[in-house]
């Protein structure tokens, strides 16, 4: 290509981005990209975007989130959410140019780790990432459906997503699952809870992730299409939390699914059923929203979290977590 360009994406790219995606997957996902472009414009510190093309024609694009502290990580990383190359331009190096554009912006921001995910069976995409310098990361994706934690629930009560609900199911299920929710107040996340969540995370990790949780709070309350994050409370004190979101189309997935970004229980309440109650309520809420799957990422060294999630019905996903550490040529 002789007259190519690399530049950040802007709202006017919406139709072309949607068109490229439609030709790749058969689904344009325009509402998803409209939301994503709006987030990039409103929060440039939290996202990186890049488009590449020839002349005035956009031929490829990518979006990455900037994350600090996700899944217990102490580092700031960029996470490649979605990448697409027009079918007529595939095999011409456009994807590499887009990745290169993302990396250049990362270095300017002082970020040197780029992560993404790929279905292990998607040989074309996995091969592309491998050729672009990605390797397997030391973490894995686990997932489960949104059926209740108890073995059988005949009916689920309606949910009001208005920051004041507390839902208890009296139908079916084992006694522990119902009682854990009934004796522990579970409610939706509110802006005022952010300080308490930062303190709990600090007790767990020994580090302060104030910027991360403040950014995540804004995303949950202002940017997310559906609010699903929940907290546990006892005598007016927040004792645990799950920060979660509902994504439509992330990583090329067409079906709606939920993502747990982070989960935490104050050490003083560990073993008291708080984590079980939080997850139980989250699954009830997601099922009512017709979300079929929930996933999260866990490091191989976090044995306590792995044990908890597997006990709650999570299993290894077919997705690979990939990572690229930028070398000295990018510095």
Mean pLDDT by 10 residues, the chain (331 residues): 85 95 84 86 89 95 83 74 94 95 94 93 93 93 89 35 38 43 82 93 85 79 73 94 76 65 92 92 90 91 90 93 79 43
DSSP 103: H
Three-state SS for 92? Answer: coil
How far apart are the C-alpha atoms of 32 and 256, rounded to whole Å? 11
CATH number of 147-291: 3.40.630.30
The pTM of the full predicted model, rounded to 2 decimals, is 0.77
Per-residue buried b or exposed e for 104-139, using 16+ beta carbons within 10 Å of the residue's own CB: ebbeeeebbbbbbbbeeeeeebbebbeebbbeebeb
For residue 73, the model assigns a pLDDT of 55
How far apart are the C-alpha atoms of 185 and 104, rounded to whole Å? 46
How far apart are the C-alpha atoms of 99 and 104, rounded to whole Å? 9
Helix axis angle, 30-42 to 14-25, nearest 10°: 140
For residue 274, the model assigns a pLDDT of 94
Tell me the residue length of the chain.
331
- How far, rounded to the nearest angstrom, does the alpha carbon of residue 175 sit from its chain's CA centroid? 32
Backbone phi and psi for residue 143, each to the nearest 5 degrees, phi listed first: -150, 165
For residue 87, the model assigns a pLDDT of 94
For residue 176, the model assigns a pLDDT of 43
- How far, rounded to the nearest angstrom, does the alpha carbon of residue 239 sit from its chain's CA centroid? 23
The string of pLDDT tens digits covering residues 15-74 is 999 999 999 988 777 888 888 898 888 888 889 999 999 999 999 999 998 887 555 455
Closest listed residue to residue 96, CA positions, set 85, 80, 82: 85
CATH superfamily name and code, 4-140+321-330? Gcn5-related N-acetyltransferase (GNAT) (3.40.630.30)
For residue 226, the model assigns a pLDDT of 67
Segments of the chain assigned to CATH 3.40.630.30: 4-140+321-330, 147-291
The string of pLDDT tens digits covering residues 160-172 is 334 433 443 333 3
Between the CA of residue 95 and those of 98, 100, 289, what are the distances in Å?
A: 5, 9, 35
Backbone phi and psi for residue 179, each to the nearest 5 degrees, phi listed first: -65, -35
Q: How buried is residue 150: exposed, middle or buried, by Cβ count under 10 Å (0-12/13-18/19+)?
A: middle
Residues 6+ apart with CB under 8 A from 247: 253, 256, 257, 258, 259
For residue 279, the model assigns a pLDDT of 95
| Tokens, residue 236 | 């007016």
The strand pair at 293-299 and 257-265 is best described as: parallel
For residue 70, the model assigns a pLDDT of 53
**Count of helix runs (H) and strand runs (E) in the chain:** 9, 14
Residues 6+ apart with CB under 8 A from 206: none
For residue 76, the model assigns a pLDDT of 84
How far apart are the C-alpha atoms of 324 and 184, rounded to whole Å? 42
For residue 74, the model assigns a pLDDT of 56
């Amino acid at each position: 290509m002789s007259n190519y360009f690399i530049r950040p994406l802007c709202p006017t790219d919406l139709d072309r981005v949607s068109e490229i995606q439609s030709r790749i997957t058969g689904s344009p996902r325009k509402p998803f990209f409209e939301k994503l472009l709006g987030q990039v414009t409103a929060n440039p510190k939290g996202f990186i975007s890049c488009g590449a093309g020839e002349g005035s024609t956009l031929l490829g694009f990518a979006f990455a989130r900037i994350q600090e502290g996700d899944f217990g990580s102490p580092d700031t990383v960029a996470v490649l959410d979605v990448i697409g190359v027009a079918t007529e331009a595939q095999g011409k190096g456009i994807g590499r140019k887009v990745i290169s554009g993302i990396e250049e912006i990362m270095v300017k921001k002082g970020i040197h780790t780029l992560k993404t995910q790929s279905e292990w069976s998607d040989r074309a995409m996995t091969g592309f990432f491998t050729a672009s310098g990605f390797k397997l990361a030391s973490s894995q994706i686990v997932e489960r459906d949104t059926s209740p934690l108890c073995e059988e629930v005949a009916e689920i009560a309606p949910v009001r997503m208005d920051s004041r609900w507390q839902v208890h199911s009296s139908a079916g299920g084992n006694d522990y699952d119902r009682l854990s929710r009934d004796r522990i107040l579970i409610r939706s996340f509110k802006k005022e809870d952010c300080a308490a969540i930062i303190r709990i995370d600090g007790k767990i990790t020994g580090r302060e992730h104030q910027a991360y949780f403040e950014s995540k709070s804004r995303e949950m309350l202002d940017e997310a299409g559906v609010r699903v994050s929940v907290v546990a409370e006892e005598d007016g004190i927040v004792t645990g939390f799950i920060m979660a979101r509902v994504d439509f189309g992330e990583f090329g997935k067409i079906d709606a699914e939920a993502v747990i970004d982070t989960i935490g229980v104050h050490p003083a309440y560990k073993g008291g059923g708080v984590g079980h109650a939080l997850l139980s309520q989250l699954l009830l809420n997601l099922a009512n929203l017709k979300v079929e799957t929930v996933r999260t990422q866990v490091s191989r060294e976090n044995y306590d979290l792995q044990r908890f999630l597997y006990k709650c019905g999570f299993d290894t996903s077919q997705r690979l977590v990939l990572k690229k550490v930028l070398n000295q040529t990018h510095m």
